[in-house]
Amino acid sequence: RVTLVTPMYGGGVTAGTPDTDMPIRASAIRGQLRFWWRLLNRRGKSSRELFEAEREVWGGLGSSAETVTASRVWVRVERFQPAGIGKLVRPCVSYEKDDADKFRGPKFDRELPDAAAYALFPGQGQLDRARTAIEKPPADILFPGLKFELVVGCPDEIWASDVLPALRWWAAFGGVGARTRRGLGSVRVEELEPPTEVEITAVPGMRFERVRGGDDALAVWGRALVALRSFRQGPNVGRNPGGADPRRPGQSRWPEPYAIRQATGRTRVKAGDVRLNDRHEAGDNLFPRASFGLPIIFHFQGERGDEARDPADTALQPEGADRFASPLILKAQWNGRSYDAVALVLPTVAELRGRALVLADSGDGRDLGQPRRFAASEWWPDGEASRHAAQAIPPMRGRGDDPLAAFLDYFAKGA
């Protein structure tokens, strides 16, 4: 018996849209179970051995048509409640017009925590430049409260060793729909115990922090999002405090904007020849926040009257790919009595740290010209160089030399 405890984004046939007839698809849950099985069973196996073992349990194609293997696990979703699911579906944001007949917003639904925008930004829609028309309508989301039954079948000999562990990890750290790594689509399953700290730390490369929460899953989820938002770009943590206008935040304390200024040769000069610094104390060409997942779109704020502008929008992405899923998972997790805010770092971060990154123009920006490549050892170094850089980045200072480890420390202890 499964209960949706945070909003679900997407989940239907159309990307980013819930399906009121079949809001939860068995095939999607089965895919997540397979992901968690693979993560838990890769130790000591070559890629070929892991592939064969996975196919033995979950089925799949082999090297020829004669080696097709049927899945030994089947999944069914049934008994949705409430029956009228449509009443749980509504836009995540709204836009209202002001006295000048221009749209204000987006204004997120009052049921959502303040930091929900940090997880739901792809669904907030888009206004035209004049703010007189909605170019892209905001996405509908499925609000918490949906209940359903998940039925899983398999042979007895693989239940305890293969299927039950995948179910427990999925219920604790996965979910339904899209953007589950940012806590959307989190579920509560009374019959499944979440993995213990001993089980979590036994997985090579897995790191974990838990903060006791309360009875309100949305509030607990919101606190987890606030921690990430503050660490990455919050005033007095990730950036300097802004001026009188709260819509114009202060300068970032991270080195990425400085690296982009160097790559493009553009640095903002305010009125009166007040020039911003284009060098960061941590060093050149550093992109530590890439560790939280890619791509990242960088947008610089400017003001009328500037004598020179900062770079136009740029996109940072892994070489040879459009994206790399975040190794960080944030959840409101049911512990059997209440909800905890949890942060889990997946072992996939090691693969990300081994990839070169590419910085390219994004949107209408043409400041960069040819894309710039940053080797894996360049965008975040190892050894003494990383320790020096971390000490020069205020959000990381005193929290270790790895960006994700520094976040876990901030998540657990606060500022």
Local confidence band at 251 (pLDDT 50, 70, 90 cut-offs): confident
Q: What is the DSSP letter of 410?
A: H
pLDDT in tens, 368-394: 878 999 999 999 999 999 999 999 999
Residue 399 pLDDT exceeds 80: yes
Question: Distances in Å between the alpha carbon of 24 and those of 91, 122, 150?
Answer: 18, 20, 10
Between CA 242 and CA 347 the distance in angstroms is 36
pLDDT in tens, 198-224: 999 999 999 999 999 999 999 999 999
pLDDT in tens, 297-309: 998 887 778 888 8
Q: Which helix (H) or strand (E) holds 53?
A: helix 47-58
pTM for the model: 0.93
CB within 8 Å of 28: residues ≥ 6 apart: 11, 176, 177
Question: Distances in Å between the alpha carbon of 33 and those of 30, 89, 166, 383?
Answer: 5, 26, 5, 36
**Per-residue pLDDT at 61:** 77
Q: Which helix (H) or strand (E) holds 349?
A: helix 349-353
**Per-residue pLDDT at 172:** 97
Q: Which residue has the higher pLDDT, 62 or 136?
A: 136
Percent of the chain that is helix, strand, coil (3-state, to 5): 30, 25, 45
Question: Could you count the other beta carbons within 10 Å of the beta carbon of residue 26?
Answer: 16
**Per-residue pLDDT at 415:** 61
What pairs with residue 174 in β-bridges? none
